[in-house]
A and B are shown apart, each in its own frame.
Chain A
Amino acid sequence: RKEVEQDPGPFNVPEGATVAFNCTYSNSASQSFFWYRQDCRKEPKLLMSVYSSGNEDGRFTAQLNRASQYISLLIRDSKLSDSATYLCVFNTGGFKTIFGAGTRLFVKA
């Protein structure tokens, strides 16, 4: 099983839609979880951390399911500017970080 599996998409959604991505991980020792956003040919930027209790930042909601070993990102009321690649990231403890290959999102007018 791969260390991390992420649906590459692309997800094509209209403006205003709600879209959700999942990301599964195989290492049960994973301790901290993040979602990053990467625009084409640019550096990844931290979107939000993911906590066990779930957390929300404006239109974005992140969830962690330790039992099933996945994290999710929900985007409500999608904007054109949300078009990007979304990377899930795990720290497995110590200094090991695993990056997903990314899910591409296209939001269309």
Chain B
Amino acid sequence: NAGVTQTPKFQVLKTGQSMTLQCAQDMNHEYMSWYRQDPGMGLRLIHYSVGAGITDQGEVPNGYNVSRSTTEDFPLRLLSAAPSQTSVYFCASSYSQGLNEQFFGPGTRLTVL
């Protein structure tokens, strides 16, 4: 099993550009989520999904979109990148929301100039 995979590992964008961060898991987990990690702030939830076709907002959703067309994939879209979105992004999956350990991907380091 590959677990949770994320691409790309690194990305540099210019302000205003859009892009999609990819996330996939092969553990048949229903719950998937996206976090951003900023110094001194821990991990903050951006969006999450409790199953294919169902998504919801987390703590910091502005500027991001998600969709969940399959159980395996949960892409995160930046609509118009801003310097404030410079961060490390982690995708995670688990059997259920909040009850079980979450398995994290390796992260994507994004810089917006």
Q: Do A and B bind each other?
A: no
A residues whose Cβ falls under 8 Å from a Cβ of B: none
B residues whose Cβ falls under 8 Å from a Cβ of A: none
